[in-house]
Amino acid sequence: MIVKLIKNLVSGADAKPAGKASGRDKPRSKNSESSPRASENKAAKPARNESRDGKPARARKPRGGRKGGDRSLRAGNPANQAAAESWDLSQFKVPKAEGKTRFHDLDLPLPLMHAIADIGFEYASPIQAQSLPYALNGDDLVGKAQTGTGKTAAFLIGIIDELLNNPIEGERFAGEARALIIAPTRELVIQIADDAKLLTKYTDLTVHTLVGGMDYGKQQQRLHSEFVDILVATPGRLIDFTGNRDVYLDHVEILVLDEADRMLDMGFIPQVRRIIRQTPPKNLRQTMLFSATFTDDVLNLASQWTIDPVRVEIEPESVATDTVEQHVYLVSTEEKYTLLYNLLKQENVESLIVFANRRDQCRRLHEQLEAHGFKAGLLSGEVAQNKRVRTLDDFKSGAIEVLVATDVAGRGIHIDGISHVVNFTLPEEPEDYVHRIGRTGRAGRHGTSISFACEDDALRLMPIGELLGAQLKCEQPPEVLLAPTPDLLPPARRSRGPRPGGNRSPRSGGSRHRR
């Protein structure tokens, strides 16, 4: 009956610490003399002082009256400095290729090019090739691109280029951010910051992260001991820090909003509005907004927060990656866990992420898997951030063989070597299906996506098919996956290590070498 119903439907259609923060280390003089932001460094690149239509670029915020900042506090790794001094572009040769943009062609600072060479970037991805000329010119930008297209590097390279070419020669203050990146999830913030640290390896720029669920005091202490060049934060935790006068946004030069559509879905926009009101006016900062979709709400936000933005839209060649083999198994609700258990016992399953829509579903799945002796990890909004970071590290190393996650937590998972993704419940939003299965089949490797469709999932199949451009083919699960599961192990006998014969080779963190 369930099978018939589904076939018919498819075919028919954070806490704060006690105490008061100390605020700025030094007061700022409101009457300090200002000077234009354009520096002598810019003079060597006159094209950057003109907009794409040949008119003068928007005036940048004056940064005069500030002197004496101690750069020695963050001079960086001496080994990196020595390597930087002995490196030049002759050691990074990339031939010209028709229809491709080399990073050599963008006139980027040498320390940034050195980091790009280390990462292995040779040619810009489509979103990078189309957006970087405008980002480097100081234009506001609204970009549409799916995850994995290289948009993170696109805005990070623009930020780093700007900060290196316009150093602050005057006095600086603790907690004063020069560039601000706002992202909706903790995992995404950490991922962006990791990429930023790779790209700033040979510079003295510092990258700070502010996320909930992690020690406020430690984040506060680092803010007081190092200058803030690039600040990456979730909205809620950033408001905590600005409210406690640990962070100041009134001198932000570049503002980036990543995954704007997700921030809308998660209800973060009122918080984001509060944050943006603390930054300079939009004519005195550069603003870049990125989203996987251009809904009316996203475009309305862009019109409020930007000035004459360049719009860059990158449509993926395939909405669902061609390297992922997709299956939809028609099952009853009661059969879903049986299928998952037996799937994990298959020899070809090297590592697996299972997605469910709700936290309570994920919690029950995690408990069942551990009760059956699997080494499982849990990623959801109710798990403390420091534990989520440890869980991801264990999954990357192979110490954990199966990861149970919600969509919000799963957005920040960029790991090469994941062999299978399971949709225990189909997502309510079709775009989330694409994000989920995109966790496998990365870096050119083959991956497998398996969705369990019961009567409750039936209505979600058609919208997913419309997004993919072809309806998902539903099938009966193989008999081997319907074998009865054994009784649950008593707590004293539950395994805390990989199952016998399940020695997993460590998976590489693909995000570290991802555009």
The per-residue DSSP string of 212-248 comes to: TTS-HHHHHHHHHHS-EEEEEE-HHHHHHHHHTTS-B
Number of neighbours of residue 326 by Cβ within 10 angstroms: 20
Q: 234, 263 in Cβ contact below 8 A? A: no
Query: Residue ranges of the domains in the chain?
Result: 40-313, 318-513
Quick one: pLDDT at residue 80? 65
- The model's pLDDT over 153-176, given as tens digits with 9 standing for 90+, comes to 999 999 999 999 999 888 888 899
Top-tier CATH class for 318-513: alpha beta
The pair phi, psi for residue 133, each rounded to 5°, is -55, -35
Give 279-289 pLDDT, tens digit per residue: 999 999 999 99
Q: Alpha-carbon distance 212 to 386, whole Å? A: 10
The CATH code belonging to domain 40-313 is 3.40.50.300
Q: Give yes or no for a contact between 376 and 401, defined as CB atoms under 8 angstroms apart.
A: yes
Residue carrying the six token digits 């994000």: 435
Give the burial string for 305-317 (b: 16+ CB within 10 Å, else e).
bbeebbebebeee
Tokens at 192, concatenated = 């962006």
Residue 124 sits at φ, ψ, to 5 deg, of: -70, 145
> 297 in helix, strand or coil?
helix
pLDDT under 50 in the chain at which residues? 1-3, 5, 7, 9-75, 492-515
Instruction: Record the tokens describing residue 277, joined without a space.
Output: 């009101």
Distance CA 10, CA 236 (A): 40
User: From its phi and psi, is residue 345 left (phi > 0), alpha (psi between -120 and 50) or beta?
Assistant: alpha
For residues 234 and 8, what is the distance between their CA atoms, to the nearest angstrom?
43
